[in-house]
Copies of this chain bind each other. A is one copy, B any other.
């Protein structure tokens, strides 16, 4: 299977590295010639061009659109003239409802995808072949999705060592609102609240004393602003619903503290401790914490 990757950032670059390692012929497209150069130097791609038209020469059987979310549909529309019949196209955008139906109308061999992997750094220089190993990789087929296209993307997921998770675009977007987009707003608000403390001595002291508990809780709120904006913009309704429910929970905790209902607060915290353990991602990490992570 000849695979083209459009957009060689962290995700596109990591897919390219792993697929090349697995023996697939991989071509890259990046608007930036320096990115192409790096992708070639790192051995991520066999060839690389700056124009979609150059893909015709490679004649890919699969094209992965790894651009920022806002460019996925425009990239697909621009790509269509250069695709052979039955070329499978997939994307890696973190929101699926605004993408999947219109993309499938543009190209019936489209399959919406979202690999649940990332890191704080971006760009081809941060790419790594094993980024997806053992991570969930969501596919969101709809009624119009071609079954063979879905099978081809499943083969790709197996090749990069990820685990395919199938759901529909709406459920995907609600789930990521909870575990990815809501945390960014919760965490950003924490940083914003601390930072507007009115007594400069207390603010300075808070910064000095901040330990791993604050570091972890504030991390995603201190991340790349454009990513947070993209989430809010394209998953607005699901995020607003999540924010609404979150605020109700926080108000309940505030009421218990205000009313000194200590037994009830303890029960809430006992429940959150139990519920926290229901998330598979919290299990491997326990080992790390026990070895050295602090929460002082």
Instruction: Name the B residues within 8 Å of A248 (CB-CB).
Output: 193
CB–CB A295/B219 < 8 A: yes
Stretch in A41-49, A102-110, A273-281 with 4+ CB within 8 Å of B: A273-281
CB–CB A220/B171 < 8 A: no
CB–CB A271/B210 < 8 A: no
Residues 188-229 of chain A: 1 if any B CB is under 8 Å from the residue's CB, otherwise 0? 111111111101011001111111111111111111111011
CB distance from A125 to the nearest CB of B (A): 10
How far apart are the CA atoms of A190 and B201 in the complex, in Å?
Answer: 30
A68 interface residue, CB < 8 Å from B?
no
Residues 270-296 of chain A: 1 if any B CB is under 8 Å from the residue's CB, otherwise 0? 111101111111100110011011111
CB–CB A192/B268 < 8 A: yes
CB–CB B246/A193 < 8 A: yes
Most chain B CB within a 10 A radius of its CB, from A135, A187, A197, A281: A281
CB–CB B188/A253 < 8 A: yes
CB–CB B199/A174 < 8 A: yes
Contact A294:B208 (CB < 8 A) given known A213-B220, A223-B273: no
Contact A216:B217 (CB < 8 A) given known A257-B239, A272-B222: yes
Interface size of A by CB at 8 A reads 112
Contact A240:B258 (CB < 8 A) given known A120-B293, A187-B217: yes
| 29 A–B contacts, CB within 8 A, in A order | A117-B296, A118-B294, A119-B292, A120-B286, A171-B205, A175-B209, A178-B197, A183-B190, A183-B213, A183-B214, A183-B218, A185-B250, A187-B217, A189-B250, A191-B275, A192-B249, A192-B271, A195-B272, A197-B245, A207-B279, A210-B280, A214-B279, A215-B279, A216-B217, A225-B266, A225-B273, A229-B262, A232-B262, A243-B250
CB distance from A255 to the nearest CB of B (A): 10
How far apart are the CA atoms of A138 and B221 in the complex, in Å?
Answer: 27
CB–CB A280/B224 < 8 A: no
A176 interface residue, CB < 8 Å from B?
yes
